[in-house]
Structure 1
Amino acid sequence: MVFLTRTLRVFNQPAFKKMYFGMQGYNKFGLYRDDLYDYTDPVHLEALRRLPPDVYDQHCFRVVRASQLEFTKQFLPQEEWPSYEEDQTKGRFLQPYIEEVQKEKLEKEEWVSFLSKD
């Protein structure tokens, strides 16, 4: 139990999070964290649909560019990689929309269950 507690403390350290960010490698393709979602999930699809047009265009550009880089087995120049700090601020562009869609879905389920009790 002590080992688990110490391990969890290490995982929550900013230095470890930054190191793990570099190990994941999606920044080498110019992607942010929210660009990696599986868009077969209806919640993510609806959140993506609600994005402002300019943010959606930026997302599409990053995904297409990353696909092309992966196909040619190349990475972006290191100057163009998003940093850990940039990923923490700009890379969570989809989160507010996902939370909004999940709240609406939960509210809808509560209404359905409330109405079905009658």
Structure 2
Amino acid sequence: MFGPLSYSWAPYVKSSRTLYKWVKPVADWYANASGYRKYGFKYDDLLVEENPTVQRALTRLTEREKYDRAYRLKRASQASVLHAHIPKEQWTTPVEDNRYLKPHVTEVMKEEAERQMWDTVVVERK
């Protein structure tokens, strides 16, 4: 599977209790060190919007999700202009950082794969 979500080791890591114990602290450290939560972003806000798959997935968001996403983007832009993070009480916590766009992107990718499969079907007459 290629695209904005690409391949992931997450299911394998989650299935192994020992590996999960080793990788989880590193993953948490990396998420905090990346700094996107200090601007109020969620992980899915960082997906490249110019990708056609992500564009189609964005149209499937509810009005509330669209508004919240636009608000986070504008707030982060303003903080970037001011060269400062947003106040600490407004940072995105790990609990709030859920994957709201991923289900829509995977659905679009499945639809594109199905469309590709049916577009290449050859009809033979006997």
Structure 2 length normalisation: TM-score?
Answer: 0.78
The 3-state SS of whatever aligns with 1:39 is coil
Does residue 34 of structure 1 match 2:44? yes
Task: Give the Cα separation in 2 of the matches to 1:107 and 1:50.
Answer: 18
Task: Give the Cα separation in 2 of the matches to 1:10 and 1:44.
Answer: 29
Which consecutive residues of structure 2, in runs of 5 or more, have no partner in the other structure? 1-18
1:56 matched residue in structure 2: 66
Does residue 80 of structure 1 match 2:90? yes
Task: Give the Cα separation in 1 of the matches to 2:80 and 2:49.
Answer: 19
Matched residues, number: 106
Normalized per residue, the structure richer in helix is 1
Structure 1 length normalisation: TM-score?
Answer: 0.83
C-alpha displacement of 1:12: 5.6
Does residue 101 of structure 1 match 2:108? yes
The 3-state SS of whatever aligns with 1:92 is coil
Which consecutive residues of structure 1, in runs of 5 or more, have no partner in the other structure? 1-8
Q: Which runs of 4+ in 1 moved over 4 A?
A: 9-12
Task: Give the Cα separation in 2 of the matches to 1:28 and 1:17.
Answer: 16
